[in-house]
Structures are given as structure tokens and as C-alpha cells.
Amino acid sequence: MNDMVTYGRMTDIRLHTGEPRGTFQPGQLDGLPAPVATFFRHAIAPGSPLPQRVSLTMHGHIKVMGGWLPFRAEQVIDHDRGFWWTANVAHGLLRGSDSFDHEQGQTRFALGGIVPVVVADGKDVSRSALGRFIAEQAIWLPGSLLPANGTHWSAVDHDHADATVPGSGTYTHLRIGIDSDGAVRDLAMSRWGPAHGRFGWIPFGMVADAEAAYGNFTLVSQGRAGWWYGTARWPAGEFFRFTIDDVHTI
């Protein structure tokens, strides 16, 4: 089945609606380090159904060839399958999508949604997209990182925790900064990406500037992301500034 409308409108993924995987109960946090337990209690209300996927609408600015352009986008994140992000950039000047579907990453953008200007796939794109998939689950589908789903947590200090998350036959390591009330402050990782004409591991991160309640969940609602996080190159590496407009669990 062809899942994707490549350019223009929201990605048409035609997924069947999955049943929530149980509900969030305090006992699921037994044995977790204090900052991790505080994070989950803050993010998910007790007794909430744990969804397999979430849909988002967002707007913001994205850096293209050194300049910041406005965008509007829609996204679906599915814990079992991947993500699909479809964007309209610069009021329709560029239209396209990023995706990670069944372990395959892909980027497609076109001028006016017609003339292709970015067409990228292959193992390097897929490896990079996996990192994005895991990181975005942490901030927008937090129940997917509960220990029952295979994530191993350890405390770094009183306000940082490391998550080792399984996926695509490997493990992705995240470091999450957590405020005393459980809110996500930032997220850092090594992500596969392009540097100096070739792919390699690059520091990557997201700074959370605001959060909001969406039904039973309290999630990052505004932030900044990019390459070289935590280094002197972060100001140049930042390429994505977002505000979440709405969130729906599916």
C-alpha cells in the first residue's frame, strides 16, 4: 500500500485506529529514578489511556540555506511504525515531507509542490530519521518510553536522566533535562547526520521554551532544535523553531 501523498497536503497514512495499550498507573514507575518518575507523573495524568500514536499541527520557522522561513506542518507519530511530517514552507514556495516508515527514512520537497528540489532516502537518511523518531516520541508520545516498552532509564543527577530506547534493531540514547516539577527542559543526543560532506554522529538537541496541557497530557508546546547542541556551534546549527497548535491522540 502506498501510504504517502508526497507533496502538498497532510500525509495520508491510512492507518487503522489502534487501541490504547492499557492505562497509566503509578505502579508502572516503581524503581525508576526520581527525576524520571517526576517526568512521567507530570506528562501523563493517572489513569489515562496510553495511545500508540499522536497527531500534531504546528507552525514556526525553519532555516533554509541560511535564512529563516515560516512554515506550517502536520505530523503523525506512531510508536510501532514511524512518523510522517508534511509541511508548507514560505506560504507554499516549498511543499514536502519527511518520514520514517517501517525503518525507511525519506525527504521530499518541491517548489510549489511541483518541481522537486530535495529528494533524499537511503541508509543514512533512515538512520538520521530514526534519531528524530525516538526524540519526538519522548516529548510528544511519552508513554512510549515507559519501561514496559523496553526503555531503560538511569539518573545522571537530580535534574537529568538518560534513556536507552530500543528501535529498528538498535538502541538510541537520549539525555533529558527535567525541571523539579517534571517539565522537560531540554533533550540531547548523538544523531546521525551530514557534516563536512559525509555522514557521522553529531550532537543534536532541543530546547523546550514552553509546555501546555492537551487533554490528559502535558507536553512541550514550543521549542528550538538543531545540530551541534551543547557546543559553540549550536547557534549556527539550530535550524527549527516550532510552536504546537494542537495535539490529538489516535
pLDDT value of position 6: 35
pLDDT value of position 204: 98
What average pLDDT does range 220-245 have in this prediction? 98
Query: Which residue in 117, 95, 120 sits closest to 107, CA to CA?
Result: 120
Q: Which fold has domain 33-249?
A: outer membrane lipoprotein receptor (LolB), chain A (2.50.20)
pLDDT value of position 20: 55
Q: What is the dihedral of CA 244, 205, 228, 130, to 10 degrees?
A: -90
Break the chain into its structural domains and give their ranges: 33-249
- Region of 22 please: left (phi>0), alpha (psi -120 to 50) or beta: left
At position 82, the amino acid (one-letter code) is G
- First-to-final CA distance of the chain: 21
Q: Is the pLDDT of residue 5 over 90?
A: no
pTM over 0.75: yes
CA angle 64, 126, 233 (to 5 degrees): 45
CA angle 16, 22, 24 (to 5 degrees): 125
What does the alpha-carbon distance between residue 71 and residue 112 come to, in Å, rounded to a whole number? 13
